[in-house]
Amino acid sequence: QDDAVGALGAVDLAAALGQAVSVGLAAPHPQLSYLVQVQPVLPWFLRSRLHGQPALAAAADQAHYQLYHDVLARVLHEMITSAGDPAQRITGMAAARAEYANLTAALGHGLRTGQPIRSLAGALNQYLDQAQQHDTRRQLLDAAIAAYPEPASTEQQGELGALHDFAGNTALAQRRLDDAAAHYQA
């Protein structure tokens, strides 16, 4: 829908992905047959091609944010927290591990642009909690709280409150009771 993207013309994503696999820049994910893993040089190369095209880079960043915020973060959260289906929780954890860099990039974009981030933070919080990566969880939430703009609406106040709730729960899990109390008071 963005003019900068429309100017590119038709893009055959399946063919591009097939080519990336054939030259070794991507490979099938070992646990999730519907995903591929890309070599770090591929995203670097693609980002370097966008340096002279700020409108296209902004459109790509926004589309990435929207995909992860509007769809994937919610689906991953539901899978990770699935009460009655252990296989779905295992698949959700594997998918969240595979998508971790994309989730954190979307979270960063949302913070920089003042867009909603609760679904992204919730999925990351749940993944890191269940993976028992409490130090990483604490750092991620502290950074998100520090970067969160001064709330200008009720929705933003709710989002900041959710971040403090996640951080308070993390502090409780680490037995940092003073920190937990500070987050809950905030």
* pLDDT tens, position by position, 164-174: 999 999 999 99
- Specify the DSSP class assigned to residue 38: E
* pLDDT tens, position by position, 50-85: 888 899 899 999 999 999 999 999 999 999 999 889
Which residue type sits at 174? Q
- Span 10-24, average pLDDT: 87
What's the whole-number average pLDDT of the chain? 91
On whether the CB atoms of residues 36 and 26 are closer than 8 A, the answer is: yes
* pLDDT tens, position by position, 138-162: 999 999 999 998 888 999 999 999 9
Which residue type sits at 94? A
pLDDT value, residue 89: 94
Q: Compute φ and ψ for 28, nearest 5 degrees.
A: -55, 140
Question: How many whole angstroms separate alpha carbon 137 and alpha carbon 107?
Answer: 13
Question: How many whole angstroms separate alpha carbon 48 and alpha carbon 182?
Answer: 42
pLDDT value, residue 32: 81
On whether the CB atoms of residues 56 and 50 are closer than 8 A, the answer is: yes
- Span 98-110, average pLDDT: 95
